[in-house]
Structure 1
Amino acid sequence: MSRSLASQIQDVLPKTSDTYYKLILTVGPARAGKTAAISELAATHKWPRVNVNLSLAERLLALTHRQRAVRAAGILDDIVSAKNSSVVLLDNIELLFATELAQDPLKLLQSLSRNRTIVAAWPGDFEGANLTYAAPGHPEARRYLTPQAVIVKAGEADRPDNGLPREETK
C-alpha cells in the first residue's frame, strides 16, 4: 500500500532537526498532489499554510518595480515570521521565480528555514541530483545541482528521496 505524500513529508521532518537549513521541498509538476498534502498537514497539525503568490503579491502591489526586487525577501520573511510557528508550509511559490523580483528562490527558502522548518511545494522536478524549475531556455528556469534541502518527490508512492541534506551549486 502506498503512503500519502503528507505522510512522506511528516516522515522526513525529523531529518531537518540537526541540519543548517530546516528545509523540505515537495517537488513535482502541477496536479501532483503537493497542495493537497500541504493542506492535509496544515489541517492535521495546525501548522500555518502560506499561499506565497497571494500573500507576497498583496504586499508588493504598492511598491515600485525597483522596490519590489529590493524588498521581496524581507517581506516574505515578515510573512513567515508573523506565523510564529516552528513549522510553516509554503504553497504556490511561483512568484519567487519572477525575473522582475531578481531572487534566487532556493536561497530565499533556505534563509527562511534557518530558524524554523519550512515545507515548500516546489513546482518542478528532481532527477538524479538536479532540482529544476521550468524548461531550459525559459526566462525563469532554474537548475540546482544537489540542493541543500530534504527532497520529497510528489507522485512517487514508494518512498521519498533518502532525505539527506544536499549541497547546492548553480
Structure 2
Amino acid sequence: MRAPLADQVLRKIGEARELYYRLILMVGPSGSGKTSALQEVSARTAAPLVNVNLELSRRMLDLTERRRALHAPRLLGEIVGEATGELVLLDNIEILFDVHLRQDPLRLLQGLSRNRTVVAAWNGSIADGHMTYAAADHPEYRRYPMHDFLVVNTSVTT
C-alpha cells in the first residue's frame, strides 16, 4: 500500500538532516499530487511554502533578459533566505528551467539546500536511474543522475 505523499516527504526530511545537500525532490507529472502534499507538509510543520514562479518573476520584472540570467541565483537565494525556519517548501519551479535564464535548476536547488532542508516539486519522471524534466526534444529538457538528493517519486508505491 502506498503511503500518503506528505508522509513520505516527512520521512525524507528526517533522513536529509545527515546529508551534505539537504534536498528532497518530489518527482512526478503534473496533477500527481505534489502541490497538495506540499500544502499538507506546510500545515503539519509550519514550514513556508513558496511559489517560485510567482516570487522570482515578480523580482525580475524590471530586469533585462541578460540581467535576469545574472541575478536569478541571487534572487532565488533571497527568496529562500527570507523564509523562516530550517525547512522551506518550493512549488512551481518551472521558471528555473527557462532557457533564457541559462541556469542549472538542480545545481541552484542543491546550493540552497546547504543551509536548510529544501523540498521542491519537480515536474518530471524517473527512469533508468535518471531524473528528467520535459521531453527529450524540448528546449527545457534536463536529465540528471540520481545522486546527491533524496527523491519522493509520486509514481511509485512504497
**Please, what TM-score do these two structures have when normalized by structure 2?**
0.97
- Per-residue deviation, 1:3: 1.4
What residue identity is the alignment partner of 1:14? G
Residues 1:148 and 2:154 are matched in the alignment: no
Written as runs of structure 1 = structure 2, the 5 A alignment for 1:150-169 is: 150-156=150-156, 158-159=157-158
- Per-residue deviation, 1:49: 0.3
Residues 1:27 and 2:27 are matched in the alignment: yes
Asked whether the 8 Å contact 1:126–1:132 carries over to 2, the reply is yes
Unmatched runs of 5 consecutive residues or more in structure 1: 160-170
- Per-residue deviation, 1:126: 1.3
- Per-residue deviation, 1:50: 0.3
What CA distance in whole angstroms lies between the structure 2 residues aligned with 1:113 and 1:85? 13
Unmatched runs of 5 consecutive residues or more in structure 2: none
1:165 is matched with: none
Asked whether the 8 Å contact 1:21–1:110 carries over to 2, the reply is yes
Asked whether the 8 Å contact 1:33–1:155 carries over to 2, the reply is no
2:110 is matched with: 110
What CA distance in whole angstroms lies between the structure 1 residues aligned with 2:30 and 2:147? 21
2:51 is matched with: 51
2:64 is matched with: 64
- Per-residue deviation, 1:17: 1.1
Secondary structure class of the residue paired with 2:54: helix
Written as runs of structure 1 = structure 2, the 5 A alignment for 1:106-145 is: 106-145=106-145
Asked whether the 8 Å contact 1:131–1:147 carries over to 2, the reply is no
> Runs of 4+ in structure 1 displaced over 6 angstroms?
none
**Aligned residue-pair number:** 158
Asked whether the 8 Å contact 1:42–1:89 carries over to 2, the reply is yes
2:85 is matched with: 85
Asked whether the 8 Å contact 2:35–2:91 carries over to 1, the reply is yes
- Per-residue deviation, 1:99: 0.3
**Stretch of structure 1 that moved more, 70-79 or 124-133:** 124-133
> CA deviation digits over 1:68-114, x for unaligned, max 9?
00000100000000012200000000000000000000000000000
Asked whether the 8 Å contact 2:47–2:84 carries over to 1, the reply is no
> CA deviation digits over 1:8-43, x for unaligned, max 9?
111111211111100000000000000000001111
> CA deviation digits over 1:109-136, x for unaligned, max 9?
0000000000000000112310100011
What CA distance in whole angstroms lies between the structure 2 residues aligned with 1:119 and 1:62? 29
- Per-residue deviation, 1:64: 0.7
What CA distance in whole angstroms lies between the structure 2 residues aligned with 1:146 and 1:91? 20
RMSD (Å), alpha carbons = 0.9
**Stretch of structure 1 that moved more, 143-152 or 51-60:** 143-152
What CA distance in whole angstroms lies between the structure 2 residues aligned with 1:20 and 1:126? 22
What CA distance in whole angstroms lies between the structure 2 residues aligned with 1:34 and 1:65? 30
What CA distance in whole angstroms lies between the structure 1 residues aligned with 2:73 and 2:133? 19
Secondary structure class of the residue paired with 1:74: helix
